[in-house]
Amino acid sequence: MIRAGDDIQLMIPESWAEFDREFVTPVYHRKFEAQTIIVDTIDFAAAMLMREIQGAKQKMVMQDWGKLLTDLTNVCNKLVSSTGQHGDLPAYNVVFCSHEGDVTDDGGNLLKTTPKIPGSFKYDIESFFDTVLICEAQLASKVVEGKITRSKEFICHSIPTSKYQTAKGTNLPPLVDGMYDSLRKEWDYGILRK
């Protein structure tokens, strides 16, 4: 466990069992003093689980894919259940990050964009969350007092209701194009109104 800054606690698990024992279970039981819990990235955790399930086998069999789906679903359920108040225990904001992957047909045509998670869980994960965003990072340059400064900017879009949508849940968020700062104001406004 690493303390990063004044209010960030970073955990880097070395196995799926450690991820479940040291992170998922304490979050489920609300053992952390935190407002927001972030899994960065769930595709890394899923790949770690997949390697452990496959072990020394050449390839995964159907039962292995079922175990992958079950374990990922259980972890998601546990983490997302911590978003609700439970007696005097805190409720967390839960954020999952994932790299993106493209699903194409045999001709190479894009069918949809999904989280880069092995197996069918990539099609289910978004149904667990209230808001699903695709965020792109881009480098921006500006001239300040005669010097060029570069910074990273994030552009966030919610998943549109189109063939690229992967969520199976209902009440999808509207399409939101804009810079992260303006979106952050909307989130803050929404949180403050509750």
Mean pLDDT, 10 residues at a time, over the chain (194 residues)? 59 91 93 88 92 92 94 92 84 87 81 82 81 69 80 61 41 46 53 40
- Residue type at 6 in one-letter notation: D
Domain boundary assignment for the chain: 2-193
What pTM value is reported for the model? 0.69
Q: Which pLDDT belongs to residue 178?
A: 47
Q: Which pLDDT belongs to residue 170?
A: 41
Q: Which pLDDT belongs to residue 63?
A: 94
Rg of the Cα atoms in the chain: 19
CA distances, 36 to each of 58, 90, 94, 95, 166 (Å): 39, 11, 6, 7, 24
Tokens describing residue 114: 């999904």
Q: Which pLDDT belongs to residue 41?
A: 87
Residues 97 and 79: beta-carbon distance below 8 Å: no
Tokens describing residue 117: 């998670």
Q: pLDDT, tens digit, for every residue of 24-55?
A: 999 999 998 888 888 988 999 999 999 999 99
Q: Which pLDDT belongs to residue 33?
A: 85
Q: Which pLDDT belongs to residue 61?
A: 93
What is the distance between the terminal CA atoms of the chain, rounded to a whole angstrom?
33
Q: State the virtual CA torsion across 111, 116, 118, 120 in degrees, nearest 10.
A: -50
DSSP state of 89: B
Residues 49 and 71: beta-carbon distance below 8 Å: yes
Residues 30 and 86: beta-carbon distance below 8 Å: yes
